[in-house]
């Protein structure tokens, strides 16, 4: 079964735009689980422009499925996740001022750094995942870091999907063969939506988790959160 982890960053963005606590990020996380989501994802950034470090601490107290915390492994981020101990930490190579994640790790150049970080996380019982592109060399070297999983950066797939779905997914199916041979679990995220999710799901063997935020929260404005989560869950089934 492929799990749906709902990224609630955009909910925090709306809250922060006006101050106060509307919408209530913690309640939304609880509602997502109640509506069928199998995980909650957050990506706290140094400027706390959406999810705050305090949100992560509060989410740990209430999330009953799986809490996935994404971020660049700065000292502040590492201090946070080692204290909170989420179920999974997804390491991304974003600089502090990045608008959103836009590339995977160079696991060759950053091999020693990633191995050190991952060793520390796993010593605390935290499952690890590395945000990564489909380059076979990068995937093979991801295995060398000791990570449990990789998370495909799927924007290239999403951009090409409407023009040629088979060509769009091909790099990911080829990369998956290598990842599975390396014993890596496979997650995916970035620009997956109601139009392209099922096709990706059907083509990627062993897909364990998709993390979806922007599209899902945007769809919820039209369809409602409960209905939207059910719509996304339906895309993670053979149709």
* 190 is known as an active-site residue: yes
Of the candidates 43, 50, 66, 151, the residue annotated as catalytic is 43
Residue 213, in any domain of the structure: yes
Of the candidates 33, 66, 151, 190, the residue annotated as catalytic is 190
> Alpha helix locations (H) across the chain?
9-18, 25-34, 53-62, 75-84, 111-123, 136-145, 155-161, 165-181, 197-203, 214-223, 225-234
* 43 is known as an active-site residue: yes
Neighbours of 205 (CB within 10 A): 11
Residue 108, in any domain of the structure: yes
Question: What long-range pairs does 234-239 form, CB within 8 A, spacing at least 24?
Answer: 235/194, 235/197, 235/198, 235/201, 236/1, 236/2, 236/4, 236/197, 236/198, 236/201, 236/210, 237/198, 238/202, 239/198, 239/202
Domain that holds residue 214: 3-234
* 174 is known as an active-site residue: no
CATH number, domain with residue 198: 3.20.20.70
Domain total of the chain: 1
Residue 134, in any domain of the structure: yes
Residue 239, in any domain of the structure: no
Residue 144, in any domain of the structure: yes
The pTM (predicted TM-score) of the whole model is 0.95
Tens digit of pLDDT at every position of the chain (239 positions)? 999 999 999 999 999 999 999 999 999 999 999 999 999 999 999 999 999 999 999 999 999 999 999 999 999 999 999 999 999 999 999 766 655 556 799 999 999 999 999 999 999 999 999 999 999 999 999 999 999 999 999 999 999 999 999 999 999 999 999 999 999 999 999 999 999 999 999 999 999 999 999 999 999 999 999 999 999 999 999 86
Of the candidates 33, 70, 151, 209, the residue annotated as catalytic is 70
């Amino acid at each position: 079964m492929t799990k749906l982890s709902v990224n609630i960053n955009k909910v925090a963005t709306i809250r922060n735009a006006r101050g106060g606590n509307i919408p209530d990020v913690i309640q939304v996380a609880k509602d997502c689980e109640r509506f069928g989501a199998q995980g909650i994802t957050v990506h706290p950034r140094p400027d706390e422009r959406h999810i705050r470090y305090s949100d992560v601490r509060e989410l740990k107290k209430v999330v009953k499925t799986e809490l996935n915390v994404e971020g660049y492994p700065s000292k502040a981020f590492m201090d946070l996740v080692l204290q909170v101990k989420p179920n999974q930490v997804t390491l991304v190579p974003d600089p502090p001022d990045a608008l959103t994640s836009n590339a995977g790790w160079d696991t060759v150049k950053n091999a020693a750094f990633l191995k050190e970080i991952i060793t520390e996380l796993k010593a605390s019982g935290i499952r690890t995942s590395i945000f990564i592109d489909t380059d076979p060399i990068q995937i093979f070297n991801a295995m060398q870091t000791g990570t449990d999983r990789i998370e495909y950066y799927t924007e290239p797939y999403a951009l090409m999907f409407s023009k040629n779905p088979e060509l769009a997914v091909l790099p990911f199916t080829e990369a998956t063969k290598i990842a599975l041979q390396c014993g890596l679990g496979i997650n995916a995220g970035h620009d997956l939506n109601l139009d392209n999710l099922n096709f990706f799901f059907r083509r990627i063997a062993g897909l364990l988790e998709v993390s979806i935020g922007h599209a899902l929260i945007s769809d919820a404005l039209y369809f409602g959160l409960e209905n939207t989560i059910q719509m996304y869950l339906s895309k993670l089934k053979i149709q």
